[in-house]
Amino acid sequence: MKCDKQTMLLYAVTDRAWVGKQTLYEQVESALKGGATCVQLREKHLGDEDFLREAIEIHALCQRYGVPLFINDNVEVAIQCHAEGVHVGQSDMEAAQVRQRVGEDMMIGVSAHTVEEARRAVAHGADCLGVGAVFATSTKTDVDVLPRQTLIDICNAVDVPVVAIGGIHKENILQLKGTGVDGVALVSAIFAADDIESECKELRKLSEQII
């Protein structure tokens, strides 16, 4: 499946930390109603069986809204729930190995922090890149903030969609204008919001201004 730049515009990455008033399912639906163009299901602590059950439910929800679902890290769950994509980090399985497992129809996203990592990921079959952290973030404490010029260089070096991730919120998103990114991946800016749907509507308008 070819990765369409339009689907990368507002990329919602789930985080169970903010489940409470709403279930994760309800949170994702609120994000979709608000204009999220892509969803990544990230579960660091669920067992495979529970992760798969949840992934099947979330995938059916995303399909209702015509939005692709990416599974974070877990290639087997991605295959079994028939997700449109799978996203892996630099310390996970290489894109070439992922491609062997998932075939040609599933999109592969790869995290990249340097031009070299970006080029290698694309050469090995990545359909899109998650690049960051573009701002300081509490979600990933082990990742350094990426210099703006490195983000620009990565966007110029590859011909696949590039999504900026890390510490992005309403107050700083417009700083990404002119970098060449095709979209933004947001975690807490979406899922920690009191009103996820209205927050996504606002973020969608802002993300359209940076492309």
Distances (CA, A) of 130 to 18, 24, 25, 30, 202: 22, 22, 24, 23, 22
Report H helices in 65-114. 75-80, 95-102
* Preceding amide of 192 cis, omega within 30: no
Catalytic hit among 99, 140, 201, 204: 140
Check residue 53 and give its pLDDT: 98
Mean pLDDT, residues 23-37:
98
pLDDT, tens digit, for every residue of 100-115?
A: 999 999 999 999 999 9
Whether residue 140 lies in the annotated active site:
yes
pTM: 0.95
C-alpha closest to that of 157 among 115, 193, 200 = 115
Give the model's pLDDT for residue 1. Answer: 62
For residues 164-178, give the mean pLDDT: 97
Please indicate whether residue 111 is annotated as part of the active site: yes
> Considering Cα of 60, then 126, then 167, then 211, what sign does the dihedral take?
negative
Distance CA 24, CA 203 (A): 20
Alpha carbon 156 to its chain's center: 20
Is a pLDDT exceeding 90 seen at residue 91?
A: no
